Amino acid sequence: MVTVMQKIKDIEDEMERTQKNKATAHHLGLLKAKLAKLRRELLTPSSKGAGGAGEGFDVTKSGDSRVGLVGFPSVGKSTLLNKLTGTFSEVASYEFTTLTCIPGVIMYR
């Protein structure tokens, strides 16, 4: 498997070997564009191999504070959320029923 650094080195080597004239100007431009793209990939972290392929936990902000329920599977987090907030979060007798983030708002007084 070729790494990004190896690809950059290969493109730089090809640019050194290529003569600079009108006939090769387009080819050199394409190589420079590929080189810039690969260098940008080096600077930005890749999200391809990060964890699971889930939807994430992006929740819109609302209310005065935010609380997250974290714990072991099948201990009643979704049931507690359903009772306190009145939202619907699927509840079942097997582990990992709730795989996404379910937002809820508690109305107090």
Global pTM exceeds 0.75: no
**Is residue 26 predicted with pLDDT exceeding 70?**
yes
Could you read off the pLDDT of 51-75 as tens digits, one per residue? 555 555 666 777 777 788 888 888 8
48 belongs to a structural domain: no
Q: What one-character DSSP code corresponds to residue 106? A: -
58 and 37 fall within a common domain: no
Expressed in angstroms, the distance from the first to the final Cα of the chain is: 60
Distance between CA atoms of 43 and 49, rounded to whole angstroms? 16
81 belongs to a structural domain: yes
60 and 36 fall within a common domain: no
59 and 13 fall within a common domain: no
Domain that holds residue 33: 4-43
80 belongs to a structural domain: yes
36 and 62 fall within a common domain: no
99 belongs to a structural domain: yes
pLDDT band at 22 (very low <50, low <70, confident <90, very high): very high
49 belongs to a structural domain: no
Summary mean pLDDT of the chain? 82
Query: Domain count of the chain?
Result: 2
Phi, psi of 107 (to 5 degrees): -90, 115
20 belongs to a structural domain: yes
pLDDT band at 109 (very low <50, low <70, confident <90, very high): confident
pLDDT band at 46 (very low <50, low <70, confident <90, very high): low
